[in-house]
Amino acid sequence: MDRLTRYLYTVASIVTLLALWYAGGVTLPEVVPGLPETYTALVVVLTTPGPYDHMFYFHVWKTIQMLFASLIVSMIAGTLLGVALGRSETLESTLATWVYAWLAIPSLVIVFVSAIWIGFDASSGYFAIPLVITPFVGLNMWEGARNLDDDLAEMAEFFGAGRVQTFTDIIIPQLAPFLFASFRSALSIGWKITLLVEAFLLTRGVGFMFRRYFDQYDLPTMMSWLIIFVVFLIVVEYGVLAPLHERVMEWRPDAEGVRVTE
Amino acid sequence: MTAAEEATVASENGDESGETLELRNIVKTFQKPGQGQILVLDEVDLDVEAGAFISLLGPSGCGKTTLMNVVSGLIEPDGGTMRRGGRDVSPDDLSLGYIFQEPRLLNWKTVAGNIEFALEARDVPEAEWDERIERYLEMVNLADEGDNYPTRLSGGMKQRVAIARALATEPEIMLMDEPFSSLDEITARDLRQELLDIWNREEKTILFVTHDINEAVFLSDYIYMMNTDGEMFARRDIDIDRPRQYDDPDIAQREAELYKEFHEQVVD
């Protein structure tokens, strides 16, 4: 499919969604916030200060701050964990069960326990969110580390490549697709947990706003906040991740137009 | 005068690199899960004469690659000696290039980048890189592909890049592990011919592993024959004038003789 056709399909899907939304708002007004009402609410959110006199970007910024700080911590910790598991059979047999157990703990429980341990402030979030995301990153990187090509490692050893050269030229490029996949899943899981933390524990951020308008049963405003953050995540995907992915994966024969999958 | 004789002459001015590399009584066992100790190399001797084209010939799984990896230093033998010019040497003392069965290229680097990888690993001064890349890519007829990615090349072209990568480190001995076995026969024949041209012109020593008797006879000055018990049971010279032709009846006849010897080994 050429670029124009792809673009047209995207536009068509957005138009269809808006039409369905509008129809839903007219036929089921108690359940679906109306499209015009949501638009009005969105304009209000974007132009007037909300609770505590903060504009929308204050809350969005706070959420982003917590989300991305957690992502950085989780990417580092998860990569170390995954590579350790993938490269050492001893560690794998010792830790594998616990990684799966860790994955099985509901995020809600982690958030609640953090609040009890640490308190109802942002520190709980900075503790709980990386704790939830790290095993997902670890699982991905584990798979990546298990698939490292021993033949290439042998080639590098034969030519006498040092540790640094082996790491940057042999290991990292093989892990790159897994790093991207990890980051994408960490981002999508992480932002949901961030909202949970903000909704339950904090008085700022996008999650707090959801909670506040949920209490007021104000569906159109909740919808506006959802739109703001979803738009932000789409911008991150198409504006940063996809171009970066395409650049890093330039060598692949089908690199033209790396498809966004998640 | 054969290449081996020429090298002997060269060694008379005290240059140790012209001497024969002698492996004696090389023993290697591997631990295989469920099968216990497997003897892969049973007191094997090998002479790598400078400037010669030597093949290690044997059925799959007979330890040919293991023996070559003892020379390369990738495998530590359990016993035996490696000497040259009357002195013990280790693989680190040798100037070696390796061409694997698969090209083993870094797909995320360009063709030139792949060669740079080896040059950097070998601590070749950066000032020499461009010149060497150009020279050796031209030698394997890939002068225009330096900026291309390996994923866009055919199997034969990838193996040429691997050959250029090995040549670019300017080794004295080239180790080649069934480098053409996964190529189609037409491409393989072209590459064998080019390899012989390079070997001749650059005065390299080549140690070549293969299970293809015809390939071994066509390429080699002499052939070591191995069986599946890890024994080196014969060394056979190939006294056929170069340049050789594929359809030369002498080659066919020598091939038949060697096959017979192999067959008798298996029956015994």
Q: For residue B118, which residues of chain A lie inside 8 Å, CB to CB?
A: 159
Residue with tokens 């839903």: A24
- Is the pLDDT at B1 greater than 60, yes or no? no
Task: Give the mean pLDDT of chain B.
Answer: 90
Whether residue A194 is contained in a domain is answered as: yes
Q: Which residues have a Cβ under 8 Å from the Cβ of A169 and sit 6 or more positions away?
A: A156, A161, B106, B109, B117
What is the secondary structure of B58-87 as a DSSP string?
Answer: --TTSSHHHHHHHHHTSS--SEEEEEETTE
- The sign of the CA dihedral A87, A90, A92, A98 is negative
Of A151, A156, A253, the CB nearest to B151: A253
Structural contact between residues A145 and A86, judged by C-beta atoms closer than 8 angstroms: yes
Mean pLDDT value across residues A71-87 = 92
Question: Which tens digit of pLDDT belongs to each residue from A167-210?
Answer: 899 998 999 999 999 999 999 999 999 999 999 998 888 999 99
Q: For residue B74, which residues of chain A lie inside 8 Å, CB to CB?
A: 154, 157-158
Mean pLDDT value across residues A139-143 = 92
Q: How many domains does chain A have?
A: 1
**What is the ipTM for the molecules in this complex?**
0.86
Decide if A165 and B108 are in contact by the 8 Å CB cutoff: no
Residue B9: the pLDDT is 44
Of B104, B120, B123, the CB nearest to A152: B104
Whether residue A154 is contained in a domain is answered as: yes
The pLDDT confidence band at residue A258, using thresholds 50, 70 and 90, is very low
Q: For residue B122, which residues of chain A lie inside 8 Å, CB to CB?
A: 159-160
Whether residue A34 is contained in a domain is answered as: no
Q: For residue B71, which residues of chain A lie inside 8 Å, CB to CB?
A: none
First to last CA, chain A: 20
SS3 state of residue B105 = coil
CATH of range B3-95+172-239; options 3.40.50.1970, 3.40.50.300, 3.40.50.150, 3.40.109.10:
3.40.50.300
How many angstroms separate the CA of residue A246 from the nearest CA in chain B? 12
The pLDDT confidence band at residue B32, using thresholds 50, 70 and 90, is confident
Q: Which two tokens stand for residue B9?
A: 């002459």
| Residue A147, number of CB atoms within 10 A of its CB | 12
Question: Which tens digit of pLDDT belongs to each residue from A220-242?
Answer: 899 999 999 889 989 999 999 98
Of A155, A165, A251, the CB nearest to B104: A155
Mean pLDDT value across residues B67-74 = 93
Decide if B122 and A253 are in contact by the 8 Å CB cutoff: no
Whether residue A22 is contained in a domain is answered as: no
Question: Which tens digit of pLDDT belongs to each residue from B79-132?
Answer: 999 999 889 999 999 999 999 999 999 999 999 999 999 999 999 999 999 999
Whether residue A50 is contained in a domain is answered as: no
The count of CB pairs under 8 A between chains A and B is 54
Share of chain A above pLDDT 90, in %: 59
Residue A23: the pLDDT is 92
- Can you give the CATH number for the domain in which A108 is found? 1.10.3720.10
Whether residue A254 is contained in a domain is answered as: no
The range of the structural domain enclosing residue A97 comes to 56-248
Decide if B121 and A152 are in contact by the 8 Å CB cutoff: no
- Is the pLDDT at A256 greater than 70, yes or no? no
Residue A55: the pLDDT is 84
Residue A184: the pLDDT is 92
Domain range annotation of chain B: 3-95+172-239, 97-170
The pLDDT confidence band at residue B268, using thresholds 50, 70 and 90, is low
Whether residue A123 is contained in a domain is answered as: yes
The pLDDT confidence band at residue B66, using thresholds 50, 70 and 90, is very high
Of A155, A250, A253, the CB nearest to B100: A155
Mean pLDDT value across residues A100-113 = 93
CA-atom Rg of chain A in angstroms: 22
B267 or B249, greater pLDDT:
B249
Whether residue A198 is contained in a domain is answered as: yes
Q: For the stretch A184-197, what's the b/e string if a residue is b when 16 or more beta carbons lie within 10 angstroms of its beta carbon?
A: bbbbebbbebbbbb
Residue B11: the pLDDT is 43
Mean pLDDT value across residues A113-138 = 93
SS3 labels along B148-193: CCHHHCCHHHHHHHHHHHHHHCCCCEEEEECCCCCCCHHHHHHHHH
Decide if A165 and B149 are in contact by the 8 Å CB cutoff: no
Residue B6: the pLDDT is 47
- Is the pLDDT at B267 greater than 80, yes or no? no
